[in-house]
Amino acid sequence: MALPKQSEDFPGWYQEVVKQAELAETSLARGTMVIKPYGFAIWEAIQRAVDDRIKATGHQNLYFPLFIPYSLLEKEAEHVEGFAPEVAVVTHAGGEKLEEPLVVRPTSETIIWNTYAKWIQSYRDLPLLYNQWCNVVRWELRPRIFLRTTEFLWQEGHTAHETADEAIAEARMILEDVYADAVEKVLAVPVRRGRKTAAERFAGAVETMAIEGLMRDRKALQAGTSHYLGQNFAKAYGVQFQGRGGDLEFAYATSWGVSTRLVGGAIMTHGDDKGLRLPPALAPYQVVIVPIYKNDDEKGSVVAKARAIKDSLTGVRVRIDDRDEHRPGYKFNEWELKGVPLRIELGPRDIAADQVMIARRDTGEKQTLPTGEVPARVPRLLEDIQVSLFAQASAFRDEYSFDAKDYGELAALIADPGGFVTGGWCGNPECEAKVKADTKATIRYLPLDPEPPAGECIVCGTAAVERATWAQAY
RNA sequence: CGGGGAGUAGCUCAGCUUGGUUAGAGCGCGGCGUUUGGGACGCCGAGGCCGCAGGUUCGAAUCCUGUCUCCCCGACCA
């Protein structure tokens, strides 16, 4: 029942809060999870936020199949190499061995670009701006519920363009206007936007960009990725079009995705020792009303009043907890565990005084409020909480973002207290690998826009080509 | 695939060393009653192939052999 303290056992806290708040549980096959209604409602809010923005930026949804012939995967060399180890393959079906094994999609570039070859003939067919919501499977060796599961839910956008510039602009627009915007505004999770190094790049991409959040255990979480794929997939799958000048050209590609991992990101960004703290925009219930009564007569009048208050809150997601089997104190703790932003306590004393007791989950503050002011004040309080959670998370992230002067300081900061540590980097993968070997930290991001050369590489002391930011990551 | 640990009630575990009544506790679950402004209490009750398969023995949750599964730590990852 009791939650481990974050400061003493963060992984234990995470695992327990997911279980006790009834977000999800692990299922029979290793690495798989059952997402329960309360957790799925959070995912649906994320989906809505992301889907609205995908549509608003001119994309359409469609659906590609779960199964992909194995031979198709093999056509893009880097891509196979990257994904082959974690791919699940169907070899038998219908009681027989299949002539050609089928891959369960780990991502859909291969089947999609194979199909785009049929859809793209002319520059007039471009751009193709498509997205799908689906499940994918990657055979993970170390699963962590929501953060790294064998099967997970996500969206994957796949666009085809006439020029490289257009594709690069698309990938960046998705990162900033769709992902960063949705994650910061709805999940209230502040993120750093950046480019990935070659070592961290998506298999088959020319450039990978990502948003990175900092969790309360000071480890980074990659919260979304957007890739510029160049002509790699067009060449592998023969996607050519006749250009404006009449020449045959290969199309330029992007792909981008966010997944159920974001649920874990929201939990680990805002949660405290009492449980979840959900930003109102994400919360399945924004307000819970706990009626307090001593007998059936009181219950009747208190619940009736609770319903009237609920009805007065149009556009607000309100839940009345009139369960008889638990007393109010139990319900307070349970809804705090589940992260409901606002709690209204309503008893005979309040009704007599024509007021309610209202408690904020983010700060723990409790105050009385005249009943008449509830419809006006509650939406404002919800906005406050949304802003406050983002501000708290931003302040935390900034408090644990450092500039390191030298390698010793970099290693020391990563070890304690942890967080984002920035320093010059020469661009050499060997220096990157050394940091990882010494500290377990990886380069989480490089600046989106090239910055002027910044002194020396913090690892080897030669001239730096850019500023890199390291952290231990999920 | 290496190193470590664990399989007994829905959950967390005790019992095993030294075999021997009807296999236990807490929580949870069901019924009844009293309660209800920060995790209530009493009484009654349901619930077990002791991971699985062999073996030793008059007798196995307990000893032996095999096997399967899960968890934690290292190499890959949204």
**Nearest nucleotide by C1' from A334 CA?**
B39
Q: Are A256 and A175 in contact (CB under 8 A)?
A: yes
Tell me whether 0.85 is exceeded by the ipTM: yes
Query: How far from the centroid of its chain's Cα atoms is residue A52's Cα?
Result: 16
Closest nucleotide to A136: CA versus each C1': B78
The answer to whether A70 and A51 have CB atoms below 8 angstroms apart is: no
User: From the C1' of B74, which residue's alpha carbon is nearest?
Assistant: A142
Q: A225: which nucleotide lies closest, measuring CA to C1'? A: B78
Protein CA at A328 to nucleotide C1' at B36, angstroms: 7
Q: How far apart are CA A118 and CA A111, in angstroms?
A: 12
Q: How far is the CA of A8 from the C1' of B18 (A)?
A: 40
Q: Which nucleotide comes closest to A436 if you measure CA to C1'? A: B75
The residue extents of the domains of chain A are 10-270, 287-381, 401-471
Percent of chain A clearing pLDDT 70 (strictly above) = 100
Nucleotide nearest residue A224, measured CA to C1': B78
pLDDT tens per residue, range A93-115: 887 889 999 999 999 999 999 99
Q: How many CA atoms, within 13 angstroms, populate the side-chain half-sphere of residue A385?
A: 29
- The protein residue nearest nucleotide B11, judged by CA to C1', is A1
- What pLDDT does residue A77 have? 85
Question: Quick one: CA dihedral A242, A244, A250, A251, positive or negative?
Answer: negative
Tokens of residue A461, six digits: 């002391």
Q: pLDDT tens digits, residue range A315-353?
A: 999 999 999 999 999 999 999 999 999 999 999 999 999
Report helix angle A261-270 to A37-56, nearest 10.
110
Name the residue with tokens 């009043």.
A305
The percentage of residues in chain A with a pLDDT greater than 90, rounded to a whole number, is 81
CA of A283 to C1' of B29 (A): 29
Q: Which CATH architecture has domain A401-471?
A: 2-Layer Sandwich (3.30)
Identify the band that residue A219 occupies on the pLDDT scale cut at 50, 70 and 90: very high
- Chain B nucleotides with an atom closer than 7 Å to a protein C-beta: 1, 27, 29-30, 35-40, 69-71, 73-78
pLDDT value for A1: 59
Q: Do domains A10-270 and A287-381 have the same CATH topology?
A: no
CA dist A39 and A44 (Å) reads 9
Q: Which CATH class is domain A287-381?
A: alpha beta
pLDDT band with cut points at 50, 70 and 90 for residue A29? confident
Q: Which residues contact A273 (CB under 8 A, 6 or more apart)?
A: A3, A5, A6, A13
Question: Element (H or E) spanning A130, and its range?
Answer: strand A128-137
CATH number of A10-270: 3.30.930.10
Protein-to-nucleotide distance from the CA of A366 to the C1' of B62, whole angstroms? 56
- pLDDT mean over A83-95: 85
Reported as a single tens digit per residue, the pLDDT across A426-473 is: 999 999 999 998 888 999 999 999 777 778 999 999 999 999 999 999
> How many Å apart are A70 CA and B68 C1'?
31
Can you give the distance from the CA of residue A135 to the C1' of nucleotide B55 in angstroms? 48
Instruction: Give the contacts of A249 (CB within 8 A, at least 6 positions apart).
Output: A162, A240, A241, A242, A243
CA of A440 to C1' of B47 (A): 48
